[in-house]
């Protein structure tokens, strides 16, 4: 007699089952690797858990292939089913959308998975995300707008953000530029998934003064570096503590600091001591184009009256780009941080919250 193996199914929903289903509802799609990282599961147990959820018709699984840069299969992603949503509702989880409303357009999938990857890395460090659908509705943008959502830092700063994959067409970049002008938000983060796209974005937007002057910050990040930087360095006080390792000491906190030269220039509020000199500090680890614009406004005649140089914090990965943007300004010193050492430092920072 042939023995028939019964498929394992969920008999009673466990807390982990509810957590995974809730994550798939909130994020719309998560790859196998993302689920493994987000819920701190072993690879073997992740595959087993997903198989049981799939056998129970609570989720569906789809290949990631055919529409990313590499045409080969790149693993699988998972979506919650209508049955899964019904189970969440029975558990008291607030759900409003149906499964078909959570469906992802094939062309939008790589942007969504990249966005979710950032959020999985940042949420344990106190960041929150509002997805693109919610942001577009709130800002009254059309459905075709490129904005990927809004990130809220642990300090409460809200950043609209954009994701650029390996190739950046000028038509798409012009569309994003138009959105930046129309939305008139204060803070933006642009993620670039390749060195070429990073360079293209910075070169294009750094000359667009009309966009820059209406922003408080316009940060352009290499994608992988951003996921480490934003864990800890969105708070400039943490940057200052790190820079003490390079003998850069903050003087701005001294309320009794009296100096007839002291004058507040846009973006040059922080005074530090470096190599025996007082300088203005500008942290360009985040390639904030607003900061670059402000440094360019600190002209030679201002420097000659004030006497303080600008110390720019850069990395071995981005220094050349920063030098090109500020090449004609000679009252600037560069402190170059080795990119690998910086990432190792940020990797060691422990999360402050848990999921």
Instruction: Tell me the pLDDT tens digit for each residue of 299-314.
Output: 999 999 999 999 999 9
| Residue 308 C-alpha from the chain's centroid | 33
Under the banding of pLDDT at 50, 70 and 90, the label for residue 5 is: low
Please give the structure tokens belonging to residue 226: 């951003």
| pLDDT tens string 134-146 | 899 888 888 888 9
The residue that leads in pLDDT, 72 or 177, is 177
pTM: 0.88
| Per-residue tokens: 224 | 């992988």
Supply the CATH classification number for the domain 9-104.
Answer: 1.10.10.10
Q: Within the chain, where are the H helices?
A: 15-27, 32-38, 43-55, 82-90, 109-122, 132-139, 170-183, 195-205, 209-212, 223-232, 236-243, 289-297, 300-306, 319-325, 339-347
Here the tokens at position 301 are: 């005649």
pLDDT in tens, 317-345: 899 999 999 988 999 999 999 999 999 99
Spans of all domains in the chain:
9-104, 231-347
């Amino acid at each position: 007699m042939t023995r028939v193996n019964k498929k394992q199914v969920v008999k009673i929903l466990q807390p982990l089952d509810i957590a995974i289903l809730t994550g798939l509802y909130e994020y719309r799609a998560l790859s196998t690797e993302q689920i493994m990282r987000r819920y701190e599961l072993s690879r073997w147990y992740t595959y087993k858990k997903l198989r049981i959820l799939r056998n129970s018709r609570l989720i569906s699984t789809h290949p990631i292939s055919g529409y990313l840069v590499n045409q080969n299969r790149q693993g699988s992603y998972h979506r919650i089913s209508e049955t899964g949503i019904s189970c969440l509702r029975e558990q008291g989880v607030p759900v409003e959308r149906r499964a078909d409303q959570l469906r992802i357009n094939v062309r939008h999938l790589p942007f969504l998975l990249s966005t979710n990857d950032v959020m999985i890395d940042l949420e344990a460090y106190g960041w929150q995300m509002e997805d693109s659908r919610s942001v577009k509705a709130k800002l009254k943008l059309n459905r075709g707008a490129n904005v990927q959502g809004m990130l809220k830092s642990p300090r409460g700063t809200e950043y609209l953000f954009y994701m650029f994959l390996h190739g950046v067409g000028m038509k798409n970049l012009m569309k994003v530029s138009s959105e930046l002008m129309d939305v008139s938000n204060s803070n933006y983060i642009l993620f670039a998934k390749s060195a070429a796209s990073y360079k293209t974005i910075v070169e294009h937007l750094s000359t667009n003064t009309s966009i820059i002057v209406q922003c408080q910050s316009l940060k352009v990040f290499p994608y992988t570096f951003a996921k480490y930087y934003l864990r800890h360095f969105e708070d400039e006080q943490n940057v200052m503590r790190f820079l003490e390792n390079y003998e850069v000491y903050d003087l701005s906190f001294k309320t009794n600091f009296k100096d007839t030269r002291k004058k507040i220039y846009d973006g040059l509020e922080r005074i530090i001591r470096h190599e025996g000199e007082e300088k203005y500090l500008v942290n360009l680890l985040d390639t904030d184009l607003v900061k670059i614009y402000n440094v360019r406004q600190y002209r030679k005649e201002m420097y000659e009256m004030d006497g303080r140089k600008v110390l720019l914090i850069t990395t071995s990965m981005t220094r050349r780009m920063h030098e090109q943007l500020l090449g004609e300004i000679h009252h600037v010193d560069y402190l170059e941080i080795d990119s690998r050492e910086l990432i190792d430092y940020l990797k060691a920072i422990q999360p402050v919250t848990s999921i």
